């Protein structure tokens, strides 16, 4: 498997679409905690992100105790900042 793009670069592309979970406008962060998985999924559906990008995103999700992904799953801001 090839390495994907840095998560910070992927997040910069994903923020170009409205979040499908909290409805943050394009260019506006979801919240101080990070970005919702729904925003990355929407960017994927719009053709902004590709499959390898989504693999990087899913690796960065902080899973809840049940280790499931939901549209409200968050990629922590600290993960996004550390990778930039």
3-class SS at 11? helix
**Residues 69 and 58: beta-carbon distance below 8 Å:** yes
Which residues have C-beta within 8 Å of that of residue 66, sequence separation ≥ 6?
none
Q: What are phi and psi for residue 31, nearest 5 degrees?
A: -170, 180
Predicted TM-score (pTM) of this structure: 0.86
Q: What are phi and psi for residue 66, nearest 5 degrees?
A: -80, -5
> Is the predicted pLDDT of residue 34 greater than 70, yes or no?
yes
> Is the predicted pLDDT of residue 38 greater than 90, yes or no?
yes
């Amino acid at each position: 498997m090839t390495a994907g793009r840095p998560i910070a670069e992927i997040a910069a592309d994903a923020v170009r679409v409205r979040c499908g979970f909290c409805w943050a406008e394009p260019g506006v962060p979801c919240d101080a905690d990070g970005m919702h998985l729904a925003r990355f999924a929407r960017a994927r559906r719009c053709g902004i992100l590709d499959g390898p990008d989504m693999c990087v995103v899913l690796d960065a999700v902080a899973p809840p105790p049940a280790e499931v992904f939901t549209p409200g799953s968050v990629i922590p801001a600290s993960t996004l900042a550390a990778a930039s």
